[in-house]
Structure 1
Amino acid sequence: MSRPIQIHNHPFRFLLYLEWILLAVAALSEVSPYPFRRIPRLPLLTFLSIAAYGLIGLRLPTGKQIQKILYTCLEILLISVTTFAGGMRLFPFPYIVLVIRSCLIFQLPGRLVVTSLSFSLFLLTLLRWFQNFPARPVLQNRLRFFLLSYALLFCLSLAFVLLLMNALLTERQSREKLVSANEQLRQYALRIEDQATLQERNRIARDIHDSLGHSLTALNLQLETALKLWSVDPAKATKFLVQAKKLGSTALQDFRQSVSAMRSNPLQGSSFEEAIASLTEEFHCSTGISPAFIMLLGHPLPAEVTTAVYRIVQEALTNISKYSQATQVKIRLQATSTDLQVTVQDNGQGFNLNENTTGFGLQSMRDRTLALGGQFKIDTAPNAGCCITATLPLPRALE
């Protein structure tokens, strides 16, 4: 059940103050003298009714429909006591307050019903006030015109209040939906960030297990064999030690690649060209292959684009060094006025697209490309090499 509307959680505090001002003005009007005394006056009853009417406005029901209806009936009863029995002069004010409150507790159909009922009661009160008015025949037409104008003015006032309240409530609901949507987006962003972090950790753990773990295990076996042969055949033991040193170098290279992959800013103050050149140099040192590198940019790239391209090229070179058995690698970066095309091609053993497209490396490159609204494509076949192409859109400011 929804909480009742009170002072501390009132959606529009200024409307509550407006209610008090209207009711206070209506009460003070009872102090001023009447120009005629055709309606019996009971000032004490009027004051008490207005006070009670104001107090019940401090707690508006928002739960069950029956509670709202009973609350509205109590409001109408207090207004009737005030206007019909007390003879309040500014009797339209409580009806305006009634419409304001109905907009806070009812949906649109209920608001229309309460507004129509308020206007009907206003007309009854107005006719009662002026039915015995001692007007000469010459003033009758003026009196009818006054009553018609007064009723029309009040009708327009109710319509204005109703439209204003609907606009305020609609704007508030839109703002609440926007806040809720922003909160959901924030939660989704946190989930995606956590998932990306977990995937990155899993990838690093898998890399350490597959490369560094394998190298260290082989290194340990080479050292154990060398120790056993050292006293028997030092020359052969030396060969095992040389092999162990190579495995140690490989393990160190794998460790450096894992550390590089964990960096949040892979460029680290270097220019984009220097960072890509560093990747190709590391690849050459670890594999002996010197990639053919072509970069045609023409203008600086946004930071998010350079980071994504760096990671794509890094992941592509890592996959080539691990799986492709290639002897030639080509890297091409070419920018146009609308997009940037990244191509990494090798002449390795390739693979079957229908069997091997869900690896973390390929998925990571695809996700980075799609996250920037780009297109990712793989052209490969067994014994036919592999060509990875990522096309990234560039901001219009670069056109």
Structure 2
Amino acid sequence: MSRPISIFNHPFRFLLYLEWILLSFAALSALIPPPFRRLPTRFTELTICSLIIFGLMGLRLPQRNQTFKIIYTGLEIFLIVITSFFGGITSRIFPFLYLILVTRSCLIFQIKGRLVVTALSFIFFLLALRRRFDRIPSSPTEQERFLFFSFNFAVMFGLSLIFVLLLMNTVLSERKSREELAIANDKLRQYALRIESQATLEERNRIAREIHDSLGHSLTALNLQLETALKLWQSQPEKAQTFLTRAKELGSKSLQDVRHSVSAMRSHPLQEQSLEQAIAGLAENMQRAIGVSPICKIDLVSLISSEITTPIYRIIQESFTNICKHSQATEVTLELTTTNTNLYLIIKDNGKGFDLGQNTTGFGLKSMRDRTLALGGKFHINSTPENGCQIIVEIPLMSRSNDKSTASR
């Protein structure tokens, strides 16, 4: 619930100034002796006190308790009635106090309450006007003239009340719309900051995956070449020289990857090759690194877009890297097949395996899983110690082809 409206947080400060000006004129009219004896101010102190209390009440408008709002408005009407009955010449100004009452009601009530206060203001105005009608001379001409004047004044005053009510509703609605728009803009800025932060985090993860998959793969192969060269340096120096030459090539490639990491990450990793050719290159690198040539069974009956081939290439690359680093396998098989709706990838080795409950937090496994889930696919790992490892990837193709056909339309 909102706090009460006071002079410090009043939404329309100029309304307070207008109230004070009008109430000041009313108070002065009660103090100045009337020029006509028939309009004396019988209770000047009471009239002025009523006006002062009515003005002070405008400095703090209730906003919380509905019962307190009703009591507050009833007290305002009571003060206006006192002014209209005992104010003498001030009673000529009292109808305009109802305009202040309607304005305040628009600030504290909803539309139904505003309509009720407006109707009550007009009813009390007619009652006070009826009382004045009883005090005029009994001459039919005078009565007819006063009746005509009172009718016109009542119509004009009723239209004034309706105009004030509609004007305040419009102003308050516009103000509420601006506040809601400001809140919506603030939320939008917060969402934009969250999206920017999330995009930055995703971009960092993507860069980390690219570095891990490209540079990490090259450095792993380089390390294996150097280890093999060290083992053969004494017994077979010529063969060790071959591994050193290959290590130098890998070192040059790694250095190039570091120097051009940004452009390399943005460029296509397949280098204008087909997926089959890129997989053949990865298999050749494994054969050079650990002396094991993977058995590749590739059957692609459906066309695969680049948004799928690149992640598949990275998943295979990471799998081969893990096999070279940890598996100690002597046999590796790769099966890549497609149907009209799905792509299936199975990579299996006969290495030493690992415990899924203890070794699933590596960045390589997480990278493969993230790439698969990003394509709406399923990622499974089957492995136990001393029983090798099997990676199964299933990626849907139908939804993506439908998306492309819809976009082309």
Please indicate the TM-score interval, normalised by the length of the shorter structure.
0.5 to 0.7
The reply on whether 1:172 has 2:160 as its aligned counterpart is no
1:350 & 1:246 partners in 2: Cα distance? 33
2:56 & 2:41 partners in 1: Cα distance? 25
1:141 to 113, 120, 144: 144
SS in 2 for 1:283: coil
Deviation string, structure 1 residues 347-376 (Cα, Å, up to 9, x no partner): xx775653579986799899xxxxxxxxxx
SS in 2 for 1:231: coil
Deviation string, structure 1 residues 286-337 (Cα, Å, up to 9, x no partner): x9x9xxxxxxxxxxxxxxxxxxxxxxx9967855865799xxxxxxxxxxxx
Give 2:12's aligned residue: 12
Give 2:329's aligned residue: none
Q: Is the 8 A contact 1:218 1:247 kept in 2?
A: yes
> Which consecutive residues of structure 2, in runs of 5 or more, have no partner in the other structure?
278-304, 318-335, 346-367, 377-395
How do residues 250-399 of structure 1 correspond to structure 2 at under 5 angstroms? 250-255=253-258, 258-260=261-263, 279=267, 283=271, 318-319=310-311, 322=314, 351=338, 354-355=342-343
1:156 to 159, 165, 170: 159
Give 2:134's aligned residue: 131
1:35 & 1:131 partners in 2: Cα distance? 18
Q: Is the 8 A contact 1:4 1:62 kept in 2?
A: yes
Residues 258 and 378 of structure 1, relative CA distance in 2, 3 Å threshold:
farther
User: Which amino acid in the other structure matches residue 69 of structure 2?
Assistant: K
Residues 192 and 64 of structure 1, relative CA distance in 2, 3 Å threshold:
same
Give 1:198's aligned residue: 201
The reply on whether 1:207 has 2:210 as its aligned counterpart is yes
SS in 2 for 1:164: helix
The reply on whether 1:118 has 2:121 as its aligned counterpart is yes
Deviation string, structure 1 residues 203-249 (Cα, Å, up to 9, x no partner): 22222333322321221121122223223322111111122123224
Give 1:243's aligned residue: 246
TM-score, L = length of structure 1: 0.68
Which sits farther off after the overlay, 102-111 or 189-198?
189-198
Identity within the alignment, %: 56
Deviation string, structure 1 residues 129-150 (Cα, Å, up to 9, x no partner): 2321236332221111001011
2:131 & 2:262 partners in 1: Cα distance? 89
SS in 2 for 1:41: coil
Q: Is the 8 A contact 2:337 2:343 kept in 1?
A: no
User: Which amino acid in the other structure matches residue 86 of structure 1?
Assistant: G
Q: How far apart are residue 53 of structure 1 and its match? A: 0.7
The reply on whether 1:61 has 2:49 as its aligned counterpart is no
Give 2:78's aligned residue: 77
Which sits farther off after the overlay, 354-363 or 248-257?
354-363
SS in 2 for 1:99: helix
Q: Is the 8 A contact 1:315 1:361 kept in 2?
A: no
How do residues 30-45 of structure 1 correspond to structure 2 at under 5 angstroms? 30=30, 31=32, 33-38=34-39, 40-45=41-46
Give 1:228's aligned residue: 231
- Cα root mean square deviation, aligned: 4.0
Give 1:24's aligned residue: 24
1:261 & 1:390 partners in 2: Cα distance? 30
SS in 2 for 1:154: helix
Structure showing greater Rg? 2
Give 1:302's aligned residue: none
Number of aligned residues: 321
Residues 42 and 261 of structure 1, relative CA distance in 2, 3 Å threshold:
farther
TM-score, L = length of structure 2: 0.66
User: Which amino acid in the other structure matches residue 50 of structure 1?
Assistant: L
Residues 354 and 316 of structure 1, relative CA distance in 2, 3 Å threshold:
closer
Q: How far apart are residue 284 of structure 1 and its match? A: 6.1
2:24 & 2:83 partners in 1: Cα distance? 14
SS in 1 for 2:93: coil
User: Which amino acid in the other structure matches residue 29 of structure 1?
Assistant: S
Give 2:106's aligned residue: 103
Residues 205 and 171 of structure 1, relative CA distance in 2, 3 Å threshold:
same
1:68 & 1:320 partners in 2: Cα distance? 69
1:41 & 1:256 partners in 2: Cα distance? 98
Q: Is the 8 A contact 2:80 2:97 kept in 1?
A: yes
Q: Is the 8 A contact 2:7 2:59 kept in 1?
A: yes
User: Which amino acid in the other structure matches residue 271 of structure 2?
Assistant: F
Deviation string, structure 1 residues 169-189 (Cα, Å, up to 9, x no partner): 111111111112212222222
Residues 355 and 253 of structure 1, relative CA distance in 2, 3 Å threshold:
farther
SS in 1 for 2:83: helix
User: Which amino acid in the other structure matches residue 203 of structure 2?
Assistant: E
